[in-house]
Every structure is written in C-alpha cells, then in structure tokens.
Copies of this chain bind each other. A is one copy, B any other.
Amino acid sequence: MRIGIIGSGNAAQTLGSALVRRGHEVKLGTRSPGKLTHWLEQQNSDDASVGSFRDAAAFGQLVINATAGDGSLEALRAAGSEHLNGKIVLDISLPLDFSTGILTLSVANTDSLGEQIQREFPRAKVVKTLNTVTSAIMVNPLGLADGEHHLFLSGNDAAAKREVQGYLADWFGWKLILDIGDISSARGTEMLLALSSRIYGALGHMNFSFRVVQ
C-alpha cells in the first residue's frame, strides 16, 4: 500500500520505518527535507521516500497526519484537499499548547483537533487513533503487556474505521481496539492527555497505555 505521512518528527519517522519494514511504500512529507536525510538513509529501501506535504498526500492511498497539533491544519492545507478527498486520513496528532507553564490543550471539551480537521476537509475520512500512546507503543503494542491494552477509534465513517482497525492489527499487531464513536469522540482521547501527562509524572516514564477493564 502507498502511505503518505504528513510530518517529520519522531512519530512520523517511527511509523514510516515500521510501515516500510512491513513492505509498504511510504513517503514522508515535510517542509524541511534535511531533517529526514538520516531517516531516509536508515531505511535503505526504494519503498521509502521524502517530499513536500503535498507530495506525501498525493502519493498516499492512505494519509497519516503525524504533525504536531499546532501545525496540523496548516500542514494539511498545504497538502491540499484534492489529495485528501475520499481518502482515509489517520489523525494521530495531539493539540498541545506549550504557551503556558503547564501543559494544556489548544482545543478541548467543546471541540477537538480531530473535529477541526474533519470540518476543514469534509470529504476526507478522518479517523482519530494512536494518539493515546508513544510512537514506540504505536508500532509495537505487543511489547507492552502482550498487547493487553486498548486503542481507541473515532470517526464519522464506519467503513473507514473498520478498515483502519484491520490495518492496525495487521501492521502493528494491535489486539484491543475500541470504536468509541463519531469524530467528536476524539475529544475523549485528546483530553486523555491531561491524565497521561500526570501519570508520566508519577511513573517517570511514558511506556504505558490504558486498558479498559470490565
């Protein structure tokens, strides 16, 4: 499958590497190709490439938004709605706001970044997921408690969510995936960051995830 990843940070690179290893063709889109020279060399594969936001979105049959939250809408606008329309946009971004001393969200409670993206690109099939764990856990859920922890899916398109659920199981081995509703339920997983950041403070590491116990 051809996958376009918007972003050049840790999550984008980790997802890109894991998907290349799984045999997919991956193009990372960035404003700063120089940041990805080392990543591209590491892949040592014709299946890995780097381009602009627009190049990556045009390339992908599926597009992953792995930009930092405060730049997501701008990056996706640069990618171009014509390259997102009709496609699954797997949105893993978090609306972090570092402008105050304490970590807050730039949008919460009555709206979410997932909803903002879906409103701006109404013909894209936005599925919010993977935003509750570190990138290391995203691509290797079985490395944590044999995968006995949950991932959540939010999106308006039920078929797209089922498709994404299949990909996450196939690509990375995710076992427990819970569809929690339409894209407005992205508020729930984005707002979880307010708890995750404090658990990180308590545990001293980010190698954790949540299991819904019932």
- Residues of chain A whose beta carbon lies under 8 Å from any beta carbon of chain B: 100, 102, 104-105, 108-110, 144-145, 148-149, 152, 154, 178-181, 184-185, 187-189, 191-192, 194-199, 201-203, 205, 207-214
Contacts and interface: CB of A to CB of B under 8 A. Distances in A.
B108 A214 contact: no
Contacts of A209: 212-214
B184 A191 contact: no
A210 B213 contact: yes
Contacts of A184: 102
Given A102-B184, A149-B213, A109 B198 contact: no
Count identical subunits in the complex.
2
A152 B195 contact: yes
The interface centre, meaning the residue of A152, A179, A192, A205 with most chain B CB atoms within 10 A of its CB, is: A192
Contacts of A199: 178, 180, 188, 212
> Per DSSP, are chain A's interface residues mostly helix, strand or loop, or mixed?
mixed
A178 B210 CA distance: 14
A194 B187 contact: yes
A203 B212 CA distance: 10
Contacts of A145: 213-214
A143 to B, nearest CB: 11
- Lowest 8 CB-CB distances: which A-B pairs, in order? A188-B195, A180-B198, A208-B214, A149-B213, A185-B198, A191-B191, A188-B194, A108-B109
Nearest to A201: B181
A108 B191 contact: yes
A196 B214 CA distance: 12
B214 A211 contact: no
Given A187-B194, A207-B214, 9 more contacts: A104-B109, A105-B109, A109-B109, A188-B196, A192-B195, A199-B212, A208-B213, A210-B211, A211-B211
Contacts of A201: 180-181, 185
A112 B94 CA distance: 20
B208 A210 contact: no
